[in-house]
Structure 1
């Protein structure tokens, strides 16, 4: 297969490039509409009780409250005659808006619950119609229409779930533009430093651009057939940029090495495709396998990252395997054009003395060098002992976001809010007596301020009706109950209240569904916990199988999995220390809160896949040298000598594309960017530089062990080496320092 790819690039290089250019243009046209297809949210399990409760309320009661308009009067009081008239007019205009339903205002109901404790502010509650995408657009339009000054008498500011979603979708785009504006120039500078040649440095950016354009095109196509989260744009662009550069870096480095060894352009292309191309294909398979595990989760936030992530990895790999060889064929020796003043001439011996010396030192004293690194990583992982999880809310937004400011006012100035209430849906008729008894049980729970039903309002822990009730909460075939508490939303106490409500004995013959923000969090954590073992098992099994097919050893996959687990635990521990415990919150500008459950799972899968990326880079060259007859220590030392510089350069380049998201205003995007970048660097430096050679020294020859029947299986189905040999050293031009062992590179870099 790789031989045919090479021959296609050699014989039809210009045709390949023309087809690629047309494909990129088409992807650009298609991808331009990607943002219109993406949706906000996606953190909920469609089969969970909270989601089913929301569906019943949408179908039979016009929807839950997801828009809160906070209204203030410049005169100071919200119940003056002028404020009353303007408030009634505002409520009337909102009721005429077809994008809204269930509009309820303080001025119509005179409910003290809709007025602040100091009487200076009031609420108007509403439901924004439509699916998540329509809600986002409708919310933006409603907010633009009614926010600000109303009739020169009131000021209006929007909050609630729909307003938070609108602010999130806008901030995602802003964060993406800023991150790419930072990452691409920095990446170009680093590429110039790594290659020392303008032409060679630009080649990885060509692949990165193809990957990014392809990622937006696939998001458009995916969004046309399934739900895709709008934050998927951040992942696909970061991965497309990073992996495109990583894979191209591998190919260009090997091609220049072959040219320096005296190979002709055609032979250099052949050898590059057969060696580095094989590594790219296998590396992409390991990354894609890790991301594919996200498909087991029901939340479309995670599933969309699974689809989009696998797609962008495939685009990056295919463009590297087909477009890059054609570019190298056309350029030939001009790949070294534009040499910069500090650059040294490319050597046929591409080993880096620093990495070789590091590996040799580690292998001579494996315990002395590895134990301090292990201690640091385990210490970094220690915050995981106190990790807690949450779901995104207004606190992920910057403090100046309007929806966040409204939520803060509601918590501080109002006695509980309908926006954060537990919403109980009973999808059948309920008699007044059993309904009253059930509402009384709910009102008696600790932390509950009031319980609103169609038959009455219950408060103070009392089971007697204290008001006429809200007729809109009842239908002949369904009942809705609102449980407003004084508890901090999404706190442990609020989550405990969800469990207490669900454990109460309902009216005979009924099956209440408990929803609301706190119930969504409880269900999200349970949904992820239920499927996480399957996702981890799939990642472990596919990784083990792929590494076995590549190395023929059952020990290498186990060693890789253990070391990756340690580095990932350290990364997640540091992120917990920062984002949950609040360290560095001031310089980074975020509000500390529990780790976002879906983003944590996503970061785990991405970081694991990328760590296997570098595992393949290093192991491939070590295996090649071992197969050539070198002993275990020499194979590791020389293998790291060959690959260390490329792995470290690739890690720095990939980390830049992730760290750029540290400038994001959304705290969970900051966590994703900083965590993924840190994971890449930890893996490239601590794991590949120290722990891998130490483990290989301690394992010795057993590192290559496999039972007889598996050796036979690998001999038949494994990824064996073969293909054209590079130009021998004797053919190198005068002055070349190529050595025979250096020009016989195979599956590595």
Structure 2
């Protein structure tokens, strides 16, 4: 099937080339408008109790959450009670547009003691913005943020909307920086790897077009769905990274066939039938892995699934259409622009990788045992991992919005992030009093304050001590929800949303794992006709992924080496770990598929298991190492991000890729196949016939 497709592309190369360029470039130009549609939100579970509390408070009590908190510091020698200070702040707040600010609560109009420090040098104003979606709230914030400062006073702006705005700006800036760093280095490395300028430029061209095309898909989705700003970052990372990987495999196989004396037509057909087939299978597995994110109810995880799936799918499609067409047009000219240091010799089984393969084949258990033990040791820290949510600590230390949030949490606990909202429905005054008394006695509760009331619905504000993602805060939320005062007791607020989001991810994780495992077992069986090889692939990928999570816990939560990365040790975002898990699992099976395709090819040619493994490792080892190195460069640029979220993704990808492309793929997998022996190729007769009828293997 794939060989026939390669012949079709060669015969219709100009048509394929023009159509692909017109569709991708035209769609990408239209897709540039997606940047105006992106939102920094969608972290909540719409089916959770905390989400229900937000709806009750807003729809039934008419009280919108304070998305912006402004901290005013009086000039030296005066207090916030000074008439001149009061007039200046009040005039500034009164001038804010009514169609941007829905509600306002400030010290000067209410004289609430909780809104000023005891020495009256600082005071707060909280603003609820107009809008029902994250995008609308961000738009309202854009209109007022430059009008909040007051002459003569230090003005600091915080709150969830302000933090999300800062995270969006940093995310966009980081995207530009990452591309500016990674693209030139990637091109340079490809020149070193391929030895010719023309061959090196092809994967980068496909990568750029994959990113461009994914923007069109994201803009189309944004017309009816909420798309988080991180979707573009994920699309850029995977679009560029996977297109380069796929281009590396395809162009490398094409040049290998040319060097063996094949015509350009035959070389394209063989490249598509072998490397192209591997690309199709690996991309399908990665898309399914990312589709596993759709089982979660949070829009930000769904958004990253949209970005990743679109980028990987387009990268694969371009690698099966545009890239073979370009190779057909270029023919032998793909070797033009040779650099002086270009190597002429292909890897041989007598070279370094051949000697490594021989040693592994002679003593497979001696290699497999220590490697498995080492990966288990790396995974140990994950047993103590805890999970949190996105807050101001995602910003780098010293960032203005983070400093403001930390100051507010320290001096105004009731206005900080670690504040719960308790809604009582159908409870009389005596019940409200009992609820207040019981809530006050819960460990970690700093106090209880009335928030709003209407009919039989009462809302209370409950500031908590410590971290909103801490075990103490989660226990306090559960204790408040367990109170029995004769009516409904609902608990929301940031600590409750954090706990509910973690619960939703924990509930959806088994379904995601089931999808990944089932897809890997089925697709790899159809590709290779073996029952045990897919099982081995799943176990090895799971082991490498767990080791990666252990390293991330060791650094980002336990704090070892956190100073070198300039990150704040804290509970990790469960959603980001899920994303890293999906991508790493997909990449692991990607490299597994590439290696096994050459092993199976040698095996079908009559080689023994030992010789087939050696041949596969010699042929694919340099390409897998090069692909991993290039992807490390792409993801490494994201590890330089100012957002801790992106650094976690970048570092996680680097750790996973280094482990996978070295000890796992070069040593562990060959050792395990050797230990399996002839059983590695076994499949029951009925399943074997199903695989043969599927017609997805190439002999």
Indicate the TM-score class for this superposition, using the shorter chain for normalisation: over 0.9
Cα distance 1:206–1:488, how it changes in 2: closer, same or farther (>3 A)?
closer
Cα distance 1:486–1:275, how it changes in 2: closer, same or farther (>3 A)?
closer
How far has the Cα of 1:4 moved from its partner?
Answer: 4.2
**Counterpart of 1:381?**
379
User: After superposition, what is the alpha-carbon deviation per residue over 1:296-331, rounded to whole angstroms, capped at 9, x for unaligned?
Assistant: 111111112222222211101110101111111111
- The question of whether the paired residues in 2 share the 8 Å contact of 1:295 and 1:302 is answered with yes
**Counterpart of 2:104?**
103
- The question of whether the paired residues in 1 share the 8 Å contact of 2:421 and 2:459 is answered with yes
Structure 2: distance between partners of 1:414 and 1:271: 68
Structure 1: distance between partners of 2:493 and 2:155: 25
Partner SS state of residue 263, structure 1: coil
**Counterpart of 1:438?**
435
Q: State which of 581, 585, 594 in structure 1 corresponds to 2:562.
A: 585
Q: State which of 574, 591, 606 in structure 2 corresponds to 1:597.
A: 574
**Cα-Cα RMSD:** 1.8
Which stretch of the first structure deviates more once superposed, 277-286 or 416-425? 416-425
Matched, 1:611 2:588: yes
User: After superposition, what is the alpha-carbon deviation per residue over 1:406-457, rounded to whole angstroms, capped at 9, x for unaligned?
Assistant: 111122223543653211234x56433332332232233333333222xxxx
- The question of whether the paired residues in 2 share the 8 Å contact of 1:490 and 1:517 is answered with no
Structure 2: distance between partners of 1:450 and 1:100: 28
Matched, 1:35 2:35: yes
**Counterpart of 1:68?**
69
Cα distance 1:209–1:351, how it changes in 2: closer, same or farther (>3 A)?
farther
Partner SS state of residue 33, structure 1: helix
How far has the Cα of 1:707 moved from its partner?
Answer: 2.1
How far has the Cα of 1:585 moved from its partner?
Answer: 2.0
Cα distance 1:651–1:190, how it changes in 2: closer, same or farther (>3 A)?
same
Kindly tell me the number of residue pairs found equivalent between the two proteins.
696
Matched, 1:447 2:444: yes
User: After superposition, what is the alpha-carbon deviation per residue over 1:173-198, rounded to whole angstroms, capped at 9, x for unaligned?
Assistant: 01111111111011001100100000
How far has the Cα of 1:584 moved from its partner?
Answer: 2.2
Matched, 1:485 2:464: yes
Matched, 1:56 2:52: no
Structure 2: distance between partners of 1:645 and 1:368: 24
Q: State which of 485, 502, 526 in structure 1 corresponds to 2:481.
A: 502
Spell out structure 1 runs of 4+ moving beyond 4 A. 349-352
Structure 2: distance between partners of 1:381 and 1:21: 45
Matches within 5 A, 1:6-155: 6-60=6-60, 61-76=62-77, 77-94=79-96, 97-130=98-131, 131-146=133-148, 148=149, 150=150, 152-155=151-154
**Counterpart of 1:673?**
650
**Counterpart of 1:336?**
335
- The question of whether the paired residues in 2 share the 8 Å contact of 1:550 and 1:718 is answered with no
- The question of whether the paired residues in 2 share the 8 Å contact of 1:389 and 1:525 is answered with yes
- The question of whether the paired residues in 1 share the 8 Å contact of 2:408 and 2:416 is answered with no
How far has the Cα of 1:346 moved from its partner?
Answer: 6.0
Matched, 1:197 2:176: no
How far has the Cα of 1:480 moved from its partner?
Answer: 1.8
Structure 2: distance between partners of 1:446 and 1:252: 63
Which one has the largest radius of gyration?
1
How far has the Cα of 1:604 moved from its partner?
Answer: 0.4
Structure 2: distance between partners of 1:73 and 1:634: 79
- The question of whether the paired residues in 2 share the 8 Å contact of 1:625 and 1:639 is answered with yes
**Counterpart of 1:457?**
none
Cα distance 1:93–1:271, how it changes in 2: closer, same or farther (>3 A)?
same
- The question of whether the paired residues in 2 share the 8 Å contact of 1:448 and 1:484 is answered with yes
Structure 2: distance between partners of 1:141 and 1:352: 68
Structure 1: distance between partners of 2:625 and 2:8: 31
Partner SS state of residue 68, structure 1: strand
Which stretch of the first structure deviates more once superposed, 316-325 or 576-585? 576-585
Structure 1: distance between partners of 2:381 and 2:418: 30
Structure 2: distance between partners of 1:418 and 1:436: 24
Q: State which of 588, 613, 618 in structure 2 corresponds to 1:641.
A: 618
**Counterpart of 1:731?**
none
Matches within 5 A, 1:549-588: 549-588=526-565
**Counterpart of 1:398?**
396
How far has the Cα of 1:239 moved from its partner?
Answer: 0.4
Which stretch of the first structure deviates more once superposed, 21-30 or 611-620? 21-30
Partner SS state of residue 424, structure 1: strand
Structure 2: distance between partners of 1:547 and 1:117: 67
Q: Structure 1: give runs of 5+ residues left out of the alignment.
A: 454-469, 723-749
Partner SS state of residue 446, structure 2: strand
Cα distance 1:351–1:265, how it changes in 2: closer, same or farther (>3 A)?
farther
Partner SS state of residue 422, structure 1: strand
**Counterpart of 1:414?**
412
Partner SS state of residue 449, structure 1: coil
How far has the Cα of 1:623 moved from its partner?
Answer: 0.7
Partner SS state of residue 40, structure 2: coil
Structure 2: distance between partners of 1:648 and 1:153: 59
Cα distance 1:705–1:118, how it changes in 2: closer, same or farther (>3 A)?
farther
Structure 1: distance between partners of 2:146 and 2:499: 33
**Counterpart of 2:209?**
210
Q: Structure 2: give runs of 5+ residues left out of the alignment.
A: none
How far has the Cα of 1:284 moved from its partner?
Answer: 0.9
**Counterpart of 2:234?**
235
User: After superposition, what is the alpha-carbon deviation per residue over 1:271-312, rounded to whole angstroms, capped at 9, x for unaligned?
Assistant: 111221111111111111211111111111111222222221
How far has the Cα of 1:554 moved from its partner?
Answer: 1.0
- The question of whether the paired residues in 1 share the 8 Å contact of 2:106 and 2:124 is answered with yes
- The question of whether the paired residues in 2 share the 8 Å contact of 1:429 and 1:475 is answered with no
Structure 2: distance between partners of 1:7 and 1:706: 32
Structure 2: distance between partners of 1:11 and 1:677: 40
- The question of whether the paired residues in 2 share the 8 Å contact of 1:257 and 1:346 is answered with no
How far has the Cα of 1:101 moved from its partner?
Answer: 2.4
Partner SS state of residue 706, structure 1: coil
User: After superposition, what is the alpha-carbon deviation per residue over 1:55-104, rounded to whole angstroms, capped at 9, x for unaligned?
Assistant: 2222232311221100111134222232233333344334x532122311
User: After superposition, what is the alpha-carbon deviation per residue over 1:109-156, rounded to whole angstroms, capped at 9, x for unaligned?
Assistant: 22221112432111111212211111122223322221x3x1x34332
User: After superposition, what is the alpha-carbon deviation per residue over 1:177-225, rounded to whole angstroms, capped at 9, x for unaligned?
Assistant: 1111111011001100100000010011111111110111111111112
- The question of whether the paired residues in 2 share the 8 Å contact of 1:356 and 1:641 is answered with yes
